[in-house]
Structure 1
Amino acid sequence: MEVSRVIALVAATMTTGLSAGLFYAYACSVMPGLRGTEDRIFIEVMQRINVAILNGWFLLGFVGALATTAVAVVLHLPADGHRGLPATVAALVCYTASLVVTRRINIPLNDALAAAGDPSRIPDPAAVRGRFESRWVRWNVARALLCTAALGFLCWALVLHCDTVG
């Protein structure tokens, strides 16, 4: 059981770290880097990123974080594993909240941006960008913070686990 708990915690920490890093990169570099671009360029770049990101490597981290954190919670339910349980549950709650934000806010905004069509044919690209950018950025920062909190909780669960074993 001990080895399984450690493997689950490490896997959860790594995959959650990948998601936290992705959202952090958007918040700190991608979106600020696009801020000064022309509206059509902004729309085209974001449309391309939203298509390119849907790949197996992204899904491995994004879905893997939820799955491995849930497994870590289950493995910490036995009486001898309770010490790390609160931190692991907190991580699961934070990561799940980031998925809710993604599903309810960021994905619909991405879909609306895709539905706008070819940027060269959009009659009012400033309006399309205006409906997307500030709201998407704000909620991306929220999910970056939620994922970072989840990562911190998982790190704390590992510390508690190592303290128990050592």
Structure 2
Amino acid sequence: MTITNHSLFILKLFVVLGSGLVAGVFFAFSSFVMKALARLKPSEGIAAMQSINITVINPWFMTALFGTGVVCLFLVSFSLLKLHQSASIYLLVGSILYIVGTVGVTIVFNVPLNEALAKVEPTSTQGAALWESYLTDWTFWNHVRTIAAFLATGAIALSLV
């Protein structure tokens, strides 16, 4: 294994681990966290999610979510140069799935929903009305990014073999 192949292997492994970790976090939200928050009074659910949305902005999670996306950008470029190699298509598809389906969906859909929720007073009528649509909309887009991260993990793992 040359230095280049070794570095590429490490980058792929980082993306497999990062996208798998992100898929797991998002899966937890889709499978039980949002359901648990929905069982609370709207004011309690809103306050809890507002706290989660502040706490999630930390170096560990941001590195997993966005650091993986940055490495995927590099892997897209690399895979386009090596399309003649059979594993490159897995690398390309997995990286694009992660960039568009996980990072893109997060930025375009989930973050704006979080920002809107951050602006409401949890005990207000406006907050309760927003919370009802937030639960449905945010969870739908979370399902999308969960599936994208999961599929990206599988595709990029296939590029390792």
TM-score, scaled to structure 1: 0.86
Map 1:123-162; keep pairs closer than 5 Å: 123-159=125-161
Deviation at 1:124, TM superposition (A): 4.2
Q: Provide structure 1 residue ranges, at least 5 long, that are not aligned to the other structure.
A: 160-166
Looking at structure 2, the residues matched to 101 and 75 of structure 1 have their Cα atoms a distance apart, in angstroms, of 23
> How far apart, in 2, do the equivalents of 1:134 and 1:77 lie?
37
Shift of the alpha carbon at 1:78?
A: 5.2
Letter in 1 for 2:103: L
Which amino acid in the other structure matches residue 139 of structure 1?
W
Contact 1:106–1:139 (CA<8 Å) still a contact in 2? yes
Q: Residues 49-100 of structure 1, C-alpha deviation per residue, up to 9 Å, x if partnerless?
A: 0000001111110111112223334444555982221111101111112222
> How many equivalent pairs are there?
157
- Give the AA of the match of 2:131: R
Cα distance in 1 for partners of 2:136, 2:83 equals 47
Query: Match of 2:114?
Result: 110
Show structure 2 runs of 5+ residues with no match: none
Q: 1:42 to 1:152 in 2, by over 3 A?
A: same
Structure 1 distance, partners of 2:90, 2:78, is: 13
Superposition CA RMSD, Å: 1.8
Is 2:15 the partner of 1:38? no
The aligned residue for residue 26 of structure 2 is: 23
1:27 Cα shift?
A: 0.6
Deviations 1:98-153 (A, max 9, x none): 22211111111100000113x13x13443121131101111100110011111110
Which AA in structure 2 matches 1:112? A
Distance 1:19 1:115 in 2: 26
- CA shift, 1:24, in A, is 0.7
Look up the match of 2:90. 87
